[in-house]
Amino acid sequence: MTDERRQLKDFSLERLRETLTSDGLPRWRADQIAAWVYKRGVEDPAQMTDLDLALREQLAGTWSFEALTVESVARSTDGTTKGLLRAADGAAIEAVVIPEEDRNTLCVSTQVGCPLACSFCATGAMGFTRNLSTAEIIDQVCRMREVLPPGRELTNVVFMGMGEPLLNLSAVLEAVRLLVEPRAFGFAPRRVTVSTAGIVPKIGELLDGLPGPVNLAVSLHAVTDRLRDELVPINRKFPLERLLGTLRSLPHLGPRRPIFFEYTLLAGVNDAPEDAHGLVRLLRGLPYKLNLIPMNPHDDAPYGAPTREAIDAFMGVLSAARVTTTLRRSRGDDIDAACGQLAARPTRIAGVALEEGSSPDARRPKCPPGEPSAPEDSADALRDR
End-to-end CA distance of the chain: 41
Rounded to whole angstroms, how far apart are CA atoms 381 and 103? 8
Instruction: Judge contact between 27 and 20, C-beta under 8 A.
Output: yes
Give the number of other Cβ atoms within 10 Å of residue 68's Cβ: 25
Just list the catalytic residues: 94, 339
* Residue 165: φ, ψ to 5°: -55, -35
Rounded to whole angstroms, how far apart are CA atoms 215 and 52? 40
DSSP, res 162: S
Strand residue runs (E) in the chain = 6-7, 63-64, 68-75, 81-87, 92-99, 104-107, 111-113, 128-131, 156-159, 192-196, 215-219, 259-265, 288-294, 325-327, 353-356
Rounded to whole angstroms, how far apart are CA atoms 217 and 231? 17
Give the number of other Cβ atoms within 10 Å of residue 280's Cβ: 16
Rounded to whole angstroms, how far apart are CA atoms 109 and 134? 11
